[in-house]
A and B are shown apart, each in its own frame.
Chain A
């Protein structure tokens, strides 16, 4: 089946600063993809390009087979967008915003919107501008769900939400997506939420390097090792299977897709003593920081 999102040879720059050169990734249907990366690597830029609000300098970005900046209205009807900060027309009330969106979408499910919004126990005449960020997120989620899109692009859905609202958001979304074949492409700064929600993660690095993998594969293959720091010896460097090295007081943290033997071989080649090299368990957040680096 055709990929829902296809990015190939994508280049973009702001002024003379290149954000990506030759970025490529694909998102097949029915999967939940999380886009991860440090601040400044171009996550928001990629989301804007996918959403069609930014035309890339060169390369292709297609959604449902059409250029993302030139989608026909029929294709746009199949895409639910969550803008950063749960953007909504805040001068409207709960009922008015539903009445505004409903005629636009042929599969509009009014019941689903009110199922979610009724949990807020607010009057239909309550203005969105008078809501908290969490309440607004529920209205926006209700609108996206009522639209019944085939692809959901969620830009930093966790922004401004406390743990309760984040959980509510993900629980509703998981329930909504169950057995529907819908595709989700999202970004978030809360890594631990991704663990139970997404099928695949895409690591985006400075310059546009991309690694796409499932959470399970990443957790199984990506390792962390502690190496005691010894005065007078040269520090280990990222090379080959060692993706990243972080200094931590009296020890080094070595991250990479490699077993202990492979790491020892690399350290030996670098002239670094590998005595005391010990594997260490990580949370997904540790692994993310280990993969992308702290700075």
Chain B
């Protein structure tokens, strides 16, 4: 049953997903060029000093990338479902409502996860070419909140599009923007490390949270 939903989601989103992969790889290529540029323009020990001791971030172009990717993927997945309320077609399938909704969300999170992991893999590769492993580890801790912001953006778009009531739609989008902003503060590299687990766990509450607007979409009245 869930395979059908995954099949449908793939047909619907593969073009957009492929475009997002290309966008992400283009940004990562830019970061690779920029990093190489640092070493061409300056002495390696100066670059190391700035990165290792002064907290300079050589992959700043990546900061909003997961956020944009998550939001666009969410829109690609749920906008077609909301056009003429086509989501009703899936909701009438002989499958439990929460399985249908969670099937859609799981697909989106996996599709986004693949892109984010690819970004992180490329970043690890670029960083390890020029810096010691401590810098690689620090770069991962630095991008971790940015990537989480991408998942929050995806879930925020899903919440906002599924919610049928406009005032709740505005409230859910506002909460999602606030949560995403929490992960995008200008801090020193790796500053989120001590609180990352707590922040990720609290953001994960948005996943079952998607069920609530989906139920409201299904029944239009909850009481």
Contacts and interface: CB of A to CB of B under 8 A. Distances in A.
A202 interface: no
B218 interface: yes
A104 B4 contact: yes
B89 interface: yes
B8 A89 contact: yes
Contacts of A81: 92
Nearest to B80: A91
A74 B94 CA distance: 6
Interface in A81-130: 81, 83, 85, 87-89, 91-92, 96, 99-101, 103-105
B189 to A, nearest CB: 42
Interface string A52-73: 1111010000000000010001
B43 interface: no
Nearest to A93: B11
Interface in B1-50: 1, 3-4, 7-8, 11-12
A83 B86 CA distance: 9
B220 interface: yes
Given A76-B92, A89-B86, A53 B1 contact: no
Interface string B66-94: 00000000000000100011101101111
A24 interface: no
B167 interface: no
Q: Secondary structure at chain B's binding surface: helix, strand, loop or mixed?
A: helix
Contact of A76 (B12, B86, B93, B222): B93
B64 interface: no
A168 B7 CA distance: 31
Interface string B83-111: 01110110111111000000000000000
Contacts of B85: 87
Contact of A53 (B3, B7, B220): B220
Nearest to A102: B4
A216 B3 CA distance: 48
B219 interface: yes
14 contacts: A53-B220, A54-B221, A74-B94, A76-B92, A81-B92, A87-B84, A87-B86, A87-B89, A89-B89, A96-B11, A99-B7, A100-B7, A103-B4, A104-B93
B96 A73 contact: yes
Contact of A51 (B11, B86, B92, B221): B92
Contacts of B88: 51, 53, 83, 87
Contact of A83 (B1, B89, B218, B221): B89
Contact of B219 (A54, A85, A91): A54
A258 interface: no
Contacts of A41: none
Contact of A73 (B4, B89, B94, B221): B94
Contacts of A284: none
A161 interface: no
Contacts of B219: 52-55, 69
A190 interface: no
